[in-house]
Structure 1
Amino acid sequence: MSDSSAMAILLPSTSALLSHKVSHVCISPRVANTQVRKNIAKRVFENGNTRRHLVMTKAQTSLEAVTAESIDDQNDFGVVNLHHVGILCENLERSLDFYQNILGLKINEARPHDKLPYRGAWLWVGSEMIHLMELPNPDPYTGRPEHGGRDRHTCIAIRDVLKLKAILDKAGIPYTLSRSGRPAIFTRDPDTNALEFTQIDSP
């Protein structure tokens, strides 16, 4: 089988790629026309709505690696998306003032507040959430990197970095910009938890 024939078997049509959101592309090495290759093609045909599009390449990696990493789906336990990020805070009201009044996040009132042995709040971030938890923070408050990108951080996708920059300037909250030059801004909440806001294009 020629390389072009293999690509035709394994890749969906252009219209199919445009009509489905592709979550990732899995690059698999080119292998001989063996049962392994037939199994890959069979999986592509049987899973018409799959988000994995296998691409045959000339990468010279071992067949064992291909079997373990690319075509063995026994470890696929069904990741859907990020549900929430837990952030520790010393004072819930102080943190809510920052996340609600500065960042404009809304509380998810449907989440329980009285079933946990500590105070907290759930804040909407798009369709996911931040869970503020009033608990002791094991991280030091001082000696942290100036740039939040070099620290543990939570990244939130936004539409307009310049607008957020103006909000932070008005509130007197320090920040740093992305060192790579991309539209992203880093700041810290009242408990020095690092936050990144990266600008994405409108859909």
Structure 2
Amino acid sequence: MQITQSLHTAILVTDLERSEHFYGTVLGLAKVERPMKFPGAWYQVGEYQVHLIVAPTVPNEPKNEKWGRNPHIAFLVSDLDAAKQQLLNYNFPVQPSASGRPAIFTQDPDGNVIELNQQ
């Protein structure tokens, strides 16, 4: 087997409208059409997609106090300081990477951990 590309990540959310605000407005991801009938939303990031799937509950409280040591999805940003300010403007928590590299972690409204990285 040879895996050649990652296509998407599915993220469970409990409130689609609240999550669409986070992924579409706060993170600025482009929403795309989805052919599914169950509740959810898809977002495009280059050739990659983020699929939000509505679930009744989401057990996503980070188990480790350092959020980067929990399951998470990572995005590359062009300006980490601007990304951090955007999250703070919308009252989302921000935690710097414990490694000291240029990265921050936040949580979506359901506690899913998101890494924003600047190379």
TM-score (norm 1): 0.55
Paired AA for residue 95 in structure 1: S
**C-alpha separation between the residues in 2 aligned to 1:160 and 1:140?**
27
Partner of 1:163: 82
| Residue pairs, 1:6-45, within 5 angstroms | none
> What is the RMSD of the two structures over their aligned residues, measured on CA atoms?
1.6
AA aligned opposite 1:98: F
Gaps of 5+ in 1: 1-76
Q: 1:177 to 1:120 in 2, by over 3 A?
A: same
Aligned to 2:8: 84
What residue in structure 2 maps to residue 121 of structure 1? Answer: 41
Q: Say how many residue pairs are matched.
A: 119
Select the structure of larger CA radius of gyration.
1
Equivalent in the alignment of 1:103: 27
Higher share of residues assigned helix: 1
Measured in 2, the distance between the counterparts of 1:169 and 1:199 equals 17
TM-score (norm 2): 0.90
Encode CA deviations 1:123-142: one digit per residue, 9 max, x unaligned.
Answer: 0122201000001345254x
Q: CA deviation at 1:159?
A: 1.4
Identical counterparts, % of pairs: 39
Higher relative contact order (CA 8 A, sep 6+): 2
Residue 147 of structure 1 contacts residue 186 of structure 1 at CA under 8 Å; is this kept in 2?
A: no
8 Å contact kept, 2:18–2:109:
yes
Q: What stretches of structure 2 of length at least 5 have no aligned partner?
A: none
Q: Distance in 2 between matches of 1:100 and 1:152?
A: 21
